């Protein structure tokens, strides 16, 4: 109980003195959120096979944007699709690829995060990357999954500085292990709760007696509300929160990517995705009217990968599940 | 900040000493949750026109169940329907009436909460009550909205002690003003976070500069997770929470009814309903696999009521909205 | 081509002379709809294991209603659930059980069809039947699936003549083989395209080279539009169709139950269900505003049955799929 | 009745002799489909204010593709959004913009149809066009609605020949009045039922006694099944249809755009959109596994336009409806 009071005092102190966290994380400061242990890195890459890549664009005074790519597994994603689902927390956003994920229950490409006006570049980059991959010489249809938040407060978003090659670069430089967080990739220009937002990640690992599965999350934070950290009401204590002066805009968005190695199918992935919005709530996020809050969840469990070359498959026609064969 | 530490100590003390709250409420103890002021009663009945009624069934050692009825407005609901929406937080439940609410965007009857095996009685009671109301002599179709949670831990649920007349009684005795909470009506036999659950209610009122609208909530709590109150991690501090001993069952459910007098249509009511699940998260609820978590939201704003006698209406055919005329 | 012209003339002749079909079927008259062969009975019971039962209530001049029960497989449905899905063609109806089917992807009870005000009796009958079945002694939660159409034109629907025991009877007398059609069970009082409606059924069987699977359909028809049979515009030729005299009411509804033995999961069952509305269209149905058009689809493929006793299961918690274990 | 037999013979003759329809239409040949009269042009542009533009790309032997733009009203669409909805008939497609339409119930840009790998160009063109429009100088977020079908059978789709400027051109050259059909715009390279597909359009107008509203449809046809025209089974008579030789691929897709001037809101537009799939069924379309079948519906009724500058609006935050103000 004493720890909890110290945590409380520590957080209030740091946030009110504009303490810079750099690449340090709450857990480094002794703040342990939740009741289940983390994976090794406390990051989405703790799910074996998942890789993350960033392209960060900082130019002059006004360009602060970028691309973050999440690669579900290291193989050919189009040929070996992952079961997947999307949950729409608040659909004021441009997430590309949703209806096909919903219909077929799978993702067949890297997941791209970028800024709102960079979605076309995101799709073009994914298409480019997929068509040029070996074994994809006859592919004529790619469902690119591209999410976004609006970094127009810090970034010259109308300049559309993200290009297809930046997307291809983020895919190419993706790697496992430690994930860069904060002002990087798609988080370069985002803001959150009136502080600087950005990319964040974490993971949890079930005990072996419950299967030993890992779940990892990566977020692009760009939203508002009434900040709290591990239940401590930072926002209220600092007097800095939504509705304080009545209708302060709290718009913005949050893209959430959830990965797991557990053998869950697309229906249960959708249920898992839905719970991620409950996690957003626990940070003090309120999913305001203008927020584009989406959760993309996938499982890269080997036994559930979906081969593009199933009996019922043709040029456009991927198998829908092993159960169909 | 000092207040917050006192709140923390107070809550831990009370919960660990099985303090009985009786009909006292956290706010009576100085715990103020959220940043927006409450309505007069801090209850769903702060939304003018909303009434709540209970039938509580306590018989012998094993019957602990009942019915709670929420009446959206005091008039003839079938003839003057309210715009409404349902959000399914986790659909492991038997909520009756959902598809018609979704299709037509309205509710035309009282909202009934009861136990899992009492849904048929709930529907029968609503039909009985609606058919026998003056001006409904020709009604041949009623969309009863009946939610439930499973009180089988404390109640002889298989005995099916709730009858249609208990439902009619809850509708009949509904009134405005103070709402009885806790072990009453549909909350008589429910449990929550390992403590006794039940019926709860609260409200918030926007400042006049933002419209002065009121929103009220009533819940039938019967769920588990890792309890926290206003951010204070009661469950962890007491060592009593889900996953502590690995897979302790945390099933159960939560029915949430949201009322407002704001002029929001059924689409925005659905968005409001979705946010109620974020409130559930802030109590430590986790929407476990076996949980039936539903939010029913309606607006009784006078200008948005939907008359059954619109030009396009016939015996089964209510008008779908003013816009259709 | 000559056959087609004869079909055309035959159909127009019969319909315009109020020809009574009795229990004869279009195929008996040489009218072959579609390009895939039927199963043996051309009925839903061609899917091995599926049974159908009826309770028909005809009393005095005004009671014309009943119950039809479709049993997905002959075992204990609660203990061995079938993968299932619902598609809402037009949700102006009271179909009970939808959200749990959507969430968990399964059905755990017989499927009941009856009249609009008989849904409570339908649920009560299913609960009664399930609780009393051997091995279900501890069951405290049953998701009854009860659909309806409004037979109030021919039936004293406000009298609520269907009782729980009628539902139990329909379940008990269900059998495989030939299915009674027309004015029977839940079709006793329904009307369709201005003619007498009722229960109908058919099936199709894929060639062995495509798996040899069977799909069967049973409908409770109670809707309007512009009737056509196998493309022949009966309604227009007879001058009897919706919109002829402007806004003639075409309300009513159609409940469609689809069964298959193909190993399709709940996601693909939903896609199959969605296609059934395209079949409705080919009869001239128009899914009018007041129509409650629903499709319930299930697969009783043995390898996809879901045991209630999975590792993650507890009193309320059925396994969600084999993949979860 | 005699007419009907002549229609039958005529259609069979023409289709079996590869009769070229050119820009003639079934109605020119005396084939009248449906029971409600058409608008003046029998095209989507009969809905006052709707314009259609095409960019057709034909280069060498292998480039056969293009863009079709549908403009909901002649004003600034971003500043005056139209109420809108999407219905997903079969979501195996890349339609961009769906989640925001679903969340907010509106469309704020031209609707673009193109080929599967041209979606990025489609979005880029819409963004370009919107940002450069007068009064949109501060716009930082545009929800581009871009649908597609796969014209890879006739077109070098991997070459990605559609560019953003082709999209801007289709928007710019859009006009009212007669709509070019067939091998034009997004229909240049599509196929349908084994024949050449393309763009088609039609309209219906209610009698003044029912409001006099017009509804118009434009389709990009690229699908298969068992062709029938006005109930006449062309496909079967010619021995050319899906499943004839077992699993002939019937993939492909259909994009359907529905416009109306009726004062229907986004909920009822979704219901209208859903009925369009029933129209697809009546052509013999079967919504095969690989088909991306979508319906986009909007109303440009003046009283329902949604101003971007509502009280609750900020840079990203459009008003959600008049009811919110």
- Helix H, strand E, coil C: the string for A157-212 is HHHCCCCHHHHHHHHHCCECCCCCCECCHHHCCCEECCEECEEEEEEEECCHHHCC
Residue C3 to residue D237: CA distance in whole angstroms: 11
Please give, rounded to a whole number of angstroms, the shortest distance from the CA of D282 to a CA of chain C.
6
The structure tokens listed for C166 are 């009628």
Say whether A155 sits in a helix, a strand or coil: coil
The structure tokens listed for A194 are 């009136």
Averaged confidence pLDDT in chain C = 89
Residue A263: its chain C contacts at CB < 8 A?
A: 323-324
B198 or C311: which leads in pLDDT: B198
| Among A210, A275, A287, beta carbon nearest to B287 | A275
Contact criterion met (CB < 8 Å) for C278 and D271: no
Contact criterion met (CB < 8 Å) for C4 and D281: no
- Determine the pLDDT at residue A150: 96
Averaged confidence pLDDT in chain B = 89
Q: What mean pLDDT do residues B172-184 have?
A: 97
Residue A85 to residue B280: CA distance in whole angstroms: 23
Say whether C82 sits in a helix, a strand or coil: strand
Fold entry, domain D36-322: 3.60.70
D35 within 8 A of C284, measured Cβ to Cβ = no
Residue A150 to residue A296: CA distance in whole angstroms: 18
B185 within 8 A of B67, measured Cβ to Cβ = yes
Contact criterion met (CB < 8 Å) for B286 and A280: no
- Determine the pLDDT at residue C246: 55
| Closest-approach residue (CA) in chain B for A270 | B90
Helices and strands, number each (H, E), in chain B: 6, 13
First to last CA, chain A: 56
Q: Which residue do the tokens 């709809």 mark?
A: C33
Q: Which of B46-50, C75-79, C201-205, C250-254 shows the lowest mean pLDDT across its residues?
A: C250-254
Rounded to the nearest 10°, the torsion over CA A24, A29, A35, A37 is 50
Residue A126 to residue A135: CA distance in whole angstroms: 16
Please give, rounded to a whole number of angstroms, the shortest distance from the CA of C231 to a CA of chain D.
4
Residue C144 to residue C111: CA distance in whole angstroms: 7
**pLDDT-based confidence at C311, cuts 50/70/90?**
very low
Residue C178 clears pLDDT 90, i.e. is over it: yes
Q: Which of A233-247, C294-308, D288-302, D305-319 shows the lowest mean pLDDT across its residues?
A: D305-319
C119 within 8 A of C98, measured Cβ to Cβ = no
Contact criterion met (CB < 8 Å) for C92 and B98: no
Residue A323 to residue B148: CA distance in whole angstroms: 34
Chains with ≥3 Cβ pairs under 8 A against A?
Answer: B, C, D
Q: Which residue do the tokens 């109306």 mark?
A: D260
Residue B168 to residue B54: CA distance in whole angstroms: 10
- Determine the pLDDT at residue C325: 25
Residue C230 appears among annotated catalytic residues: no
Residue A113 to residue A117: CA distance in whole angstroms: 11
**pLDDT-based confidence at B110, cuts 50/70/90?**
very high
D129 within 8 A of D167, measured Cβ to Cβ = yes
Contact criterion met (CB < 8 Å) for B105 and D323: no
Residue D278 to residue D301: CA distance in whole angstroms: 25
Strand partners, C146: C96, C112
Residue C21 clears pLDDT 70, i.e. is over it: no
The structure tokens listed for B165 are 């007349």
Residue C293 appears among annotated catalytic residues: yes
Domain boundaries, chain D: 1-32, 36-322
The structure tokens listed for B321 are 């909205």
Residue B14 to residue B26: CA distance in whole angstroms: 11
- The pLDDT tens digits for D133-160 are 999 999 999 999 999 999 999 999 999 9
In order along its 325 residues, chain A shows pLDDT tens digits of 667 777 777 777 777 766 666 678 888 888 889 889 999 999 999 999 999 999 999 999 999 999 999 999 999 999 999 999 999 999 999 999 999 999 999 999 999 999 999 999 999 999 999 999 999 999 999 999 999 999 999 999 999 999 999 999 999 999 999 999 999 999 999 999 888 999 999 999 999 998 999 999 999 999 988 889 888 888 887 877 766 665 555 677 999 999 999 999 999 999 999 999 999 999 999 999 999 999 999 999 999 999 997 644 333 433 333 222 2
- Nearest 5°: the CA angle A29, A34, A38 is 75
Residue D179 to residue D41: CA distance in whole angstroms: 8
Q: Which residue do the tokens 């690989």 mark?
A: D290
Phi and psi angles of residue A234, each rounded to the nearest 5 degrees, phi first: -50, -50
- The pLDDT tens digits for D222-231 are 998 888 988 8
- Determine the pLDDT at residue B321: 32
| Among D263, D266, D271, beta carbon nearest to B267 | D266
Residue C45 to residue C202: CA distance in whole angstroms: 9
**CA distances, A124 to each of A57, A68, A119, C300, D162 (Å):** 18, 15, 9, 43, 12
Residue C94 to residue D185: CA distance in whole angstroms: 45
B213 within 8 A of B262, measured Cβ to Cβ = yes
**CA distances, D66 to each of D92, D170, D300 (Å):** 21, 9, 26
Residue C131 to residue C134: CA distance in whole angstroms: 8
- Determine the pLDDT at residue B214: 98
Residue C286 clears pLDDT 50, i.e. is over it: yes
Strand partners, D64: D58
Interface test with A, best of B90, B275, B279 (most A CBs within 10 A): B275
Interface test with D, best of C3, C11, C13, C35 (most D CBs within 10 A): C35
Residue A325 to residue C268: CA distance in whole angstroms: 12
Residue B270 to residue B290: CA distance in whole angstroms: 23
- The pLDDT tens digits for A221-235 are 999 888 898 888 888
Contacts of D37 (CB under 8 A, 6+ apart): D204, D205
Q: Sign of the C-alpha dihedral, residues C160, C166, C168, C173?
A: negative
Please give, rounded to a whole number of angstroms, the shortest distance from the CA of D28 to a CA of chain B.
34
Pairing of the two strands D191-192 and C145-149: unpaired
Contact criterion met (CB < 8 Å) for B277 and A282: no
Helices and strands, number each (H, E), in chain A: 6, 13
Phi and psi angles of residue A301, each rounded to the nearest 5 degrees, phi first: -50, 125
Pairing of the two strands B198-205 and A306-307: unpaired
Pairing of the two strands A292-299 and A253-260: parallel
Contacts of C159 (CB under 8 A, 6+ apart): C62, C63
Taking CB atoms and an 8 Å cut-off, how many pairs form between chains B and D? Answer: 34
Residue A240 to residue A195: CA distance in whole angstroms: 10
- Determine the pLDDT at residue C30: 86
- Determine the pLDDT at residue A236: 81
C111 within 8 A of C257, measured Cβ to Cβ = yes
Residue A245 to residue A226: CA distance in whole angstroms: 13
> How many percent of chain B have pLDDT more than 90?
73
- One DSSP character per residue, C187-240 reads GTT-EETTEE-EEEEEEEE--GGGT--EEEEEEEEE--B---BTTB-HHHHHT-
Q: Which residue do the tokens 């009511």 mark?
A: B269
* SS3 track for C265-314: CHHHHHHHHHHHHHHHHHCCECCCCCCEEEEEEEECCHHHCEECCCCCCC
D278 or B3: which leads in pLDDT: D278
Q: What mean pLDDT do residues D183-200 have?
A: 94
Chains with ≥3 Cβ pairs under 8 A against B?
Answer: A, C, D
Residue D321 clears pLDDT 80, i.e. is over it: no
Averaged confidence pLDDT in chain A = 90
- Determine the pLDDT at residue B231: 87
**pLDDT-based confidence at D18, cuts 50/70/90?**
low
Residue B134 to residue D72: CA distance in whole angstroms: 46
- The pLDDT tens digits for D234-282 are 888 787 776 666 555 567 799 999 999 999 999 999 999 999 999 999 9
Averaged confidence pLDDT in chain D = 89
Residue B300 to residue A184: CA distance in whole angstroms: 47
Contact criterion met (CB < 8 Å) for B119 and C96: yes
- The pLDDT tens digits for A74-100 are 999 999 999 999 999 999 999 999 999
- Determine the pLDDT at residue C314: 35
According to DSSP, residue C180 is labeled P
D296 within 8 A of D273, measured Cβ to Cβ = yes
| Among A4, A5, A210, beta carbon nearest to B246 | A210
Contacts of A245 (CB under 8 A, 6+ apart): none
Alpha helices in B184-245 (DSSP H): 234-237
- The pLDDT tens digits for C116-164 are 999 999 999 999 999 999 999 999 999 999 999 999 999 999 999 999 9
Q: What is the ipTM of this complex?
A: 0.92
Contacts of D24 (CB under 8 A, 6+ apart): none
Contact criterion met (CB < 8 Å) for D321 and B267: yes
**CA distances, D137 to each of A152, B320, B322, C292, D128 (Å):** 13, 38, 36, 47, 12
D138 or B324: which leads in pLDDT: D138
């Amino acid at each position: 109980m004493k720890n909890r009071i110290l945590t409380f005092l520590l957080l209030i102190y740091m946030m009110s003195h504009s303490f810079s966290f750099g690449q340090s994380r709450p857990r480094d400061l002794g703040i342990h959120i939740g009741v289940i242990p983390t994976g090794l890195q406390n990051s989405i890459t703790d799910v074996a096979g998942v890789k993350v890549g960033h392209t960060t664009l900082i130019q002059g005074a006004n360009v602060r944007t970028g691309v973050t790519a999440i690669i579900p597994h290291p193989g050919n994603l189009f040929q070996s699709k992952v079961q997947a689902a999307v949950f729409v927390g608040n659909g004021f956003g441009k997430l590309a690829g949703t209806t096909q994920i919903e219909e077929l229950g799978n993702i067949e490409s890297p997941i791209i995060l970028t800024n709102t006006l960079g979605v076309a570049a995101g799709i073009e980059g994914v298409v480019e990357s997929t068509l040029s991959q070996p074994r994809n010489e006859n592919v004529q249809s790619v469902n690119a999954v591209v999410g976004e938040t609006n970094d127009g407060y810090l970034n010259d978003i109308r300049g559309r500085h993200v290009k297809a090659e930046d997307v291809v670069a983020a895919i190419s430089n993706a790697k496992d292990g430690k994930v860069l967080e904060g002002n990087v990739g798609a988080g370069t220009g985002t803001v959150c709760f009136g502080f600087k937002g950005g990319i964040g990640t974490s993971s949890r690992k079930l005990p072996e007696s419950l299967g030993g599965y890992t779940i990892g999350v990566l977020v692009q934070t760009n939203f508002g509300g009434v900040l709290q950290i591990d239940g401590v009401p930072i926002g209220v204590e600092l007097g800095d929160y939504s509705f304080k002066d009545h209708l302060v805009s709290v718009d913005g968005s949050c893209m959430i990517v959830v990965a797991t190695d557990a053998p869950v199918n697309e229906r249960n992935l959708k249920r898992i995705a839905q719970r991620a919005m409950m996690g957003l709530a626990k940070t003090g996020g309120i999913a305001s009217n203008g927020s584009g809050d989406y959760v993309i969840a996938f499982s890269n469990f080997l036994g559930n990968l979906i081969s593009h070359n199933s009996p019922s498959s043709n040029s456009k026609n991927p198998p829908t599940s092993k159960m169909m064969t």
